[in-house]
């Protein structure tokens, strides 16, 4: 028996577009993000999905609800799936970080796992709380397909834990808005089946480019 966990990053938000730190800030999807959520739902329509989990932040919850409607299931909301808390940086852009927190970017680039954001948390903390949810899912479901909708850094941290990649090397991985990453759990083993799959967005991207 095996369990397929589909890790879905939420659709685009205005702050994604503006390259602002989001963290715990409750930023909604923009119009493009809502279309991305619909594309995800169409893509996953043929999968037999047993449950949908999501962060309680509206950008993830809205994405999850769009997927869940196709399968007649309720979204199981869990605050432990939130993005890494970026504290005082939330709402700010990179130039604000460079101006207000000299040296922080260098530390984040060198050894990001344990760097605690000012007024926030570390990536390790985010990984630990999100991994608790993954372990609970594995206990509750020994087989089938589960969708988990979350956020960039938090999901990258989960992927690292699943495949045994040092969290300081998380930048070797990349997941875009509304992407799908699939991990297959069989016993104690975890296999990364696909990473950052965005093929379902191709038609939507063509429509956006033509506007």
pLDDT at residue number 208: 61
Secondary structure of residue 150 in the 3-state scheme: strand
Q: CA of 150: how far to CAs of 23, 110, 135, 178, 186, in Å?
A: 11, 25, 16, 10, 23
Of the candidates 20, 55, 46, the one whose C-alpha atom is nearest the C-alpha of residue 155 is 55
SS3 call for 14: helix
Interacting residues of 154 by C-beta distance below 8 A, sequence separation 6+: 55, 81, 82, 83, 84, 126, 127, 130
Cα–Cα distance, 82 to 122 (Å, whole number): 13
Query: Model-level pTM?
Result: 0.95
10 Å CB burial of residue 102 (0-12, 13-18, 19+) is: exposed
> Which residues, including other chains, have CB under 8 Å from residue 95's CB and lie 6 or more apart?
none
Averaged pLDDT for residues 99-127: 97
> At 211, is the pLDDT very low, low, confident or very high (cuts 50, 70, 90)?
low
Over 80: is that where the pLDDT of 206 sits? Answer: no
pLDDT at res. 93: 97
Q: Mean pLDDT over residues 83-106, rounded? A: 97
Task: Please say if the pLDDT value at position 41 is more than 80.
Answer: yes
Indicate which residues carry an active-site annotation.
10, 83
**148-200 residue pLDDT tens:** 999 999 999 999 999 999 999 999 999 999 999 999 999 889 999 999 999 99
pLDDT the model gives residue 47: 95
d(CA 66, CA 62): 6
In contact, 113 and 126? CB cutoff 8 Å: no
Average pLDDT over every residue of 3-18 = 98
Digit-coded pLDDT (tens) for 60-92: 999 999 999 999 999 999 999 999 999 999 999
The mean per-residue pLDDT over the stretch 16-30 comes to 98
């Amino acid at each position: 028996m095996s369990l397929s966990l589909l890790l879905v990053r939420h659709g685009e938000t205005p702050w994604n577009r503006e390259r602002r730190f989001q963290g715990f800030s409750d930023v909604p999807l923009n119009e493009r993000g809502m279309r991305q959520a619909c594309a995800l739902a169409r893509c996953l329509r043929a999968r037999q999905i047993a449950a949908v989990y999501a962060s309680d932040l509206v950008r993830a919850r809205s994405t999850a609800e769009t997927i869940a409607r196709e399968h007649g299931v309720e979204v199981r909301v869990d605050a432990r799936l939130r993005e890494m808390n970026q504290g005082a940086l939330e709402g700010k852009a990179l130039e604000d970080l460079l101006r207000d927190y000299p040296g922080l970017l260098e530390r984040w680039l060198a050894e990001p796992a344990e760097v605690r954001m000012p007024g926030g948390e570390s990536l390790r903390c985010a990984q630990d709380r999100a991994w608790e949810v993954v372990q609970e899912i594995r206990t509750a479901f020994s087989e089938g397909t589960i969708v988990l909708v979350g956020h960039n850094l938090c999901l990258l941290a989960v992927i690292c834990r699943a495949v045994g990649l040092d969290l300081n090397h998380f930048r070797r991985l990349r997941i875009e808005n509304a992407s799908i990453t699939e991990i297959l759990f069989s016993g104690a083993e975890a296999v990364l089946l696909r990473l950052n799959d965005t093929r379902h967005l191709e038609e939507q991207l063509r429509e956006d480019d033509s506007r």
